[in-house]
Amino acid sequence: MTAISVLSLNMFLPSLSNIARDLQVDYWIVNLSIAGYLAISAVLQIVMGPLSDRWGRRPILLAAMGIFALASVGCLLAQNIWVFLGFRMLQSAVIAGMALSRAVIRDMALPKEAARMMGYVSMVMALAPMLGPVVGGLIDQAFGWRVTFLLFAALGVLVFVMAWVDLGETNTNTSDTFLSQFKTYPALVGSGLFWGHVVCQSCSVGAFYVFLAGAPLVGEVAFDLSPAQVGIGMGAITGGFVIGNFFTGRYALRFSLGSMMVAGRVIAVLGIAMGLILMMLGYLHPVVLFGSVVFIGVGNGLTLPASNSGAMSVRPDLAGSASGLSGAAVVAAGAVLTFVTGAVLTQMTGPFVLMIILMGVNILGLISAMYVRAVEPTLE
């Protein structure tokens, strides 16, 4: 479920230019299929978290997967951009797979063990998103972009069946009423430690969204890459994510959550800094762009499992709400950054502007991780 949530975002990205041409609209309008999707996902997570704390993780996850499968069929059949965007927004229900899967893990384990488990789960599940842009680009070239959404529908049905058969209920301490669940929110939103985790997550994932939004245009215009080549390059950041999650699985029990977060952000900042310096020295090449973002992936693999576990550990009885609220904030930040990236990038300034945005977002993430590391001993 974690994998399909990410896969639904990045598999069709190499096709954005072709979708714009096919539906006869500007690129920035098609880019709403990312920004709008992320905005709706943010709102949904705010509701899904408390719902899962009240009614359980299983029914919410099953409903979300069913809606995703049906919406994918709608995108497949859409003949104009507004119908396409409408069903694309409905596809955002699949975000429950990412948000509530974290809560399921936290239901079963203590903070450091949960971070270790999330690291290993993310390492394995990242294989599908890593291959997603590659597969999406190849499908587009061979059969057209609509077949990608046919694949989404089939995967949605498959995951629904798997969850129906295999997913047990892990929330054994449900709240009495939905209203009583929301009344506990002040204890969560009033925590500085919680918001430190949220800002760090938002910047870490936000850098990923910035790259996804900018890479298709930069790859096609600045480097004259085909959709399949862009897809391969976009898989670089997820490949780094697998490596980072491997190290999280190995070392999460040895170091504090804050230390893991700071280490991840330092790696991301240094990687982008090296890439930006090389570009300024005249080495404007796809290897420099895609190679530098590998470090963002490695950094995210170290930061996100620790930060996700930490956010849900501020109030363990509100793990679902914490996961939903933090996930909503992350996706909202991603929506804003995606829109800004799409609006700012041009054919003339693409590579440099993209790298500068990535640098700024990662520096802010490092500052928030350092804050968590500083206050962590006094609040845990």
Query: Residues for the chain: how many in total?
Result: 380
Look up residue 301 and give its DSSP letter. Answer: H
Q: Tell me if the pTM is above 0.95.
A: no
How many Å apart are CA 163 and CA 171, to the nearest integer? 15
How many Å apart are CA 98 and CA 10, to the nearest integer? 14
Residue 380's pLDDT is what? 42
Angle between helices 227-251 and 127-143 (to 10 degrees): 170
What does the angle CA 368 – CA 1 – CA 301 come to, to the nearest 5 degrees? 35
Residue 279's pLDDT is what? 84
Residue 130's pLDDT is what? 65
Residue written as token pair 């930490």 = 310
How many Å apart are CA 68 and CA 72, to the nearest integer? 6
Please say whether the beta carbons of 211 and 351 come within 8 A: no
Please say whether the beta carbons of 303 and 260 come within 8 A: yes
* Other C-beta atoms lying within 10 Å of the C-beta of residue 186: 9
Per-residue pLDDT of the chain (380 residues; tens, 9 = 90+): 888 887 887 788 777 778 888 887 877 788 788 878 878 887 887 788 778 777 788 888 999 999 999 999 999 898 888 999 999 999 989 988 877 887 888 777 777 777 777 777 776 666 666 677 778 888 888 888 899 899 999 999 998 998 899 888 877 776 666 666 666 667 777 778 889 999 999 999 888 888 877 877 777 777 777 777 777 777 777 778 888 878 887 777 788 888 889 999 999 999 999 998 998 888 878 888 888 889 998 998 889 888 888 887 777 767 777 777 787 788 778 878 888 887 787 666 678 888 899 999 999 999 999 999 888 754 44
How many Å apart are CA 305 and CA 299, to the nearest integer? 11
Q: What range defines the domain where residue 174 resides?
A: 2-379
Residue 180's pLDDT is what? 64
Residue 53's pLDDT is what? 76
What does the angle CA 202 – CA 207 – CA 210 come to, to the nearest 5 degrees? 115
CATH number at residue 323: 1.20.1250.20
Q: Where are the alpha helices (DSSP H) in 218-285?
A: 227-251, 257-280
Q: Count of domains in the chain?
A: 1
